Structure 1
């Protein structure tokens, strides 16, 4: 049973009898929830999470190629090229093969709202609505309810893969993943003792976190935590205006840099582009209705100037992503929105279908549930494609004080600190949607879970290297097309 279900039951209890006249069932007691967590060890002992046995019929390259069918054809080779940069970039793009692998591992049955792709690069800092810098999970393309350990294992394996990319020793890599797993377990046990509202409002103190982290970089690029904060504060729509646009005849236009960013006028002919702009105004109206009323008012102060197709990330390359340049009317008050296609989660075959018919709404709902605070322009919409295919999108600001940790600059102690922060943050996200009391009872007070997760992470990092080599071979043999350097 998840805390989300418990919350709904509790809400009904506070209003008296149900509409049918029958009293609703009482919520489970704390003792019952503790028992639920301990009973889950019967189906998935803590030590069992260290197991990984690749199936004889697994075909990670085939799974990656299968995703090309729903993507922009000319961008698919770019995705493969980005995945081939290193075993870590491969791992970032291989969420579907890992989802298939996780489905074959022992399952606790303790459900939470999963990020679905909780590798360490999908955590970062961004601005809260109150204009404070917060640290949280920041990618929800694959979010779906499922067993909590799938997120933990995705994070843990990413730390080993990234550590190896940085030439850390096996001993150092294991210490890193143990720090993350311990951070998750201890945080969950702490949240289990707190009132639910306190858990809901919990967030990471970013200045303290950056202060811990800054001294653990290879190079002293940033002398103080304030340097990192100052860098984040420059990453906004005004900075994007200077970087992504230029003035042509007194009018702002998005710079073309194919295939990374291409204005809509270069993607389609004039007639098609005009039709696209007419369509996007309708789409913006539909998206607007998914925002809070005050944020609708704020959005209404801006008008669309231009839009462009943008290549984003690694695993997302090939899905449709558009940058929308908006302006408040005087040419110096920009707002950049990003509309990113939301396809079905890679978890859907293994964790079940989403309750939401619109995949963009699925992403937004998952993000609101997991994040302490979310972008004020976060919403969703559906677009009728020129090819007759309806596509779902979610919309957010392109940049709003966004800051990612420089993974390649980390020394082992720095990655251990970062892993612990990610572990705490993931536990907080899971405690909001799952039964934190049952999860804490399941995890226990010993380090058995931590050690098992480290065993799994090492085994899966080994498998990741094999899969990375398999993609390299497939490209060399011409079975998969890849474009490098983009």
Structure 2
């Protein structure tokens, strides 16, 4: 049976049993045990790769980026996505493809507000996202991040292995569950923050997270927005500087791209109903923001919009560069980079921001994307959960990643490859332990190069 459409013929695909068998057959081609190994390439030079990524960043922000990366081995991993992408390009992979995050670590999950006003937990960073990439690219980086976070929390290597195994197991079990659903049911699956709170075993943590979540009254709660709005010298409302991560651009930096043209480009790419909503606000101020670890040095601005009654709306305008995965041959993208990021977020997130949209600066020709800025309280939940209950947080992230992958991958094929035993879990965790050791060596060399004292557990 097939259906004729304007774009071609949609053939009836194999059923669940056949797709599970196809995934299981992949074990003969790429045995799960082969995923456990990591041997660095003979010509590997992590510091050279990092230096290459710094060439087109804002040079005045490189000291902040290096300081951030030197804080811990986990922070170094976050800033060295290019290094790991280069390493993963030489590793075996089963070829089960999906839209991937591309920079999948524990700090790139978080809580946000859906357009309907619901607090959700999801993957929350897509700067390196790419379609049609093997899912183990995300899983290897995710498992390594869990190991490093556990080691940083004072656990032994054996303890870190146990936490990472639980996280990968949570992913595998979630994929198996999603495989039993219809495509529409799997697509609509969400992770409400209230369910996350309800499952917390630590009573003190449960109360703290619940208080943070319930403190969010509405998206226009001025006390909850970040950054802070203050009165300028001329009486106009503006964004308060908080150096070194939030500040107004000097004339030289500001002239590198056309802010007015960028905002105009944003309007052109928004759906008409969203553009109509944004026109009810006016642009009052724009400031530079150095975000995260890996993104420090790329162009990222916070635009303050005000309603006629001076109610604030913060939008983040961030540069979209070529994905590190594409740079090292793990995937390909032929369109605009802003469209890549926006498309990846819409594919992987259960509910995307209504202001999310790509744009291009007409002056510099740089690619950007726009989205609404997260509130401070919800943005801090990631740190709160990770610092107080790493095991449950890692498992939550594993389940969330499974849901994100299942929106584009065939969950039944993936379930067939992973299987019901813990062979897949053990293999991924063994790789993560080996890569964590390599990451520690790179981290020490990086600190030595930049005169920083390594913070090793």
Shared fold by TM > 0.5? Answer: yes
Residue of structure 1 equivalent to 2:357? 379
Give the secondary-structure state (helix, strand or coil) at the position aligned to 2:269. coil
Deviation at 1:31, TM superposition (A): 3.8
Partner of 1:247: 231
Q: CA deviation at 1:209?
A: 1.2
TM alignment of 1:114-125, pairs within 5 A:
114-125=100-111
The alignment status of 1:200 with 2:187, answered yes or no, reads yes
Deviation at 1:407, TM superposition (A): 5.9
Q: Does 1:77 align with 2:63?
A: yes
Q: Is the 8 A contact 1:354 1:362 kept in 2?
A: yes
Q: How does 1:47-196 map to 2 (within 5 A)?
A: 47-145=33-131, 146-196=133-183
Moved more, 143-152 or 248-257: 248-257
Residues 318 and 243 (structure 1), Cα distance of their counterparts in 2 relative to 1, 3 Å cut: closer
- The Cα shift of 1:24 comes to 5.2
Q: Does 1:347 find its partner at 2:340?
A: no
1:322 pairs with 2:301:
yes
Query: How far off is 1:409 after superposition?
Result: 6.4
Which whole-Å CA distance do the structure 2 matches of 1:184 and 1:221 have between them? 23
Task: Rate the CA distance shift 1:185–1:408 in 2: closer, same or farther, 3 A.
Answer: closer
Q: 1:194 to 1:281 in 2, by over 3 A?
A: same
2:242 to 249, 252, 257: 257
The offset of 1:130, in angstroms, is 0.9
> Which residue in the other structure is 2:367 paired with?
392
Question: How far apart, CA to CA, are the structure 1 residues paired with 2:183 and 2:105?
Answer: 27
Do the aligned partners of residues 313 and 242 (structure 1) sit closer, same or farther apart at CA in structure 2, a change above 3 Å counting? closer
Q: Give the alignment's TM-score, normalised by structure 1.
A: 0.86
The count of corresponding residues between Structure 1 and Structure 2 is 449
Q: How does 1:436-447 map to 2 (within 5 A)?
A: 436-447=411-422
Q: Higher mean Cα deviation, 346-355 or 124-133?
A: 346-355
Q: Aligned with 1:210: secondary structure?
A: helix
Tell me if 1:334 matches 2:319. no
Partner secondary structure for residue 36 of structure 1: helix
Distance 1:156 1:221 in 2: 24
Deviation at 1:408, TM superposition (A): 8.6
In structure 2, the residue matched to 1:226 is 210
Q: How far did residue 175 of structure 1 move?
A: 1.6
Residues 1:17 and 1:177: Cα distance change in structure 2 (over 3 Å) = closer
* Structure 2 residue 276 is matched with structure 1 residue 297: yes
2:31 is the counterpart of 1:45: yes
Quickly say closer, same or farther: Cα 1:437–1:108, change in 2 above 3 A. same
Find the aligned partners of 1:326 and 1:435 in 2 and give their Cα distance: 41
Residues 1:379 and 1:223: Cα distance change in structure 2 (over 3 Å): same
Structure 1 pair 324–28 and aligned structure 2 pair: CA distance change class (3 A):
same
Specify the SS of the correspondent of 2:430: helix
Deviation at 1:255, TM superposition (A): 2.0
Task: Output aligned runs, 1:452-463, within 5 Å.
Answer: 452-463=427-438
SS of the counterpart of 1:394?
strand
- 1:17 CA drift (Å): 6.6
SS in 2 for 1:316: coil
5+ residue gaps, structure 2, are: none
Partner of residue 440, structure 2: 465
Verify: 1:285 aligned to 2:264, yes or no: yes
CA contact (8 A) 1:302 1:328 kept: yes
* Deviation, structure 1 residue 35: 3.0
The residue that corresponds to 1:418 in the other structure is 393
Alpha carbons 1:222, 1:228 under 8 Å: kept: no
1:236 Cα offset (Å)? 6.2
RMSD: 2.5
Distance 1:72 1:210 in 2: 40
Cα deviation, residue 257, structure 1? 3.3
